[in-house]
């Protein structure tokens, strides 16, 4: 409208400038890409971007494959060895008591309704 209108010439980047720009843009969206955790020494899957890989040391507990975990050791490596955890058990008993109470109330109200007719 007012003033002069300037047309900018298209920008031509060199190859290395394009690569640098591409790297900077890909880092900007890094948080959107899921992180893949691989054990050191494992091969990189073909469909995984190397930038999204976090390498875990082989001696780290998370690096153990499920086939390498001894079942007996895993059972001993917990605080409560058998049965349901007490908190879950208490919640279950409370819900059962509520259900039983609501069933008693509904049965009682049905008896009162039937006896009035």
pLDDT in tens, 13-43: 899 999 999 888 877 776 777 788 888 888 8
Does residue 11 lie in a domain region?
Answer: no
Residue 21 sits in the same domain as residue 55: yes
Which comes out higher in pLDDT, residue 113 or 20?
20
The model's pLDDT over 47-60, given as tens digits with 9 standing for 90+, comes to: 888 878 888 887 77
Looking up tokens 């259900």, which residue turns up? 99
User: Phi/psi at 103 (nearest 5 deg)?
Assistant: -65, -40
Q: Is 92 exposed, middle or buried (0-12, 13-18, 19+ CB in 10 A)?
A: exposed
Model pTM score = 0.32
Q: Give the count of domains, the chain.
A: 2
| CA 40/CA 58 separation, integer angstroms | 6
20 inside domain: yes
Per the model's pLDDT, the better-predicted residue between 88 and 46 turns out to be: 46
Residue of 36, 80, 70 whose CA lies nearest to 56: 36
The domain containing residue 112 runs over which residues?
85-117
Backbone CA torsion sign across 28, 33, 35, 38: negative
């Amino acid at each position: 409208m007012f003033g002069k209108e300037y047309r900018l010439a298209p920008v031509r980047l060199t190859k290395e400038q394009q690569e640098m720009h591409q790297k900077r843009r890909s880092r900007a969206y890094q948080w959107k890409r899921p992180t893949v955790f691989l054990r050191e020494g494992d091969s990189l899957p073909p469909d995984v971007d190397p930038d999204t890989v976090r390498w875990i040391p082989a001696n780290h507990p998370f690096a153990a494959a499920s086939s390498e975990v001894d079942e007996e050791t895993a059972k001993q490596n917990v605080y409560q060895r058998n049965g349901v955890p007490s908190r879950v058990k208490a919640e279950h008993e409370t819900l059962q008591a509520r259900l039983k109470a609501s069933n008693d109330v509904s049965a009682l109200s049905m008896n009162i309704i039937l006896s009035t007719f």
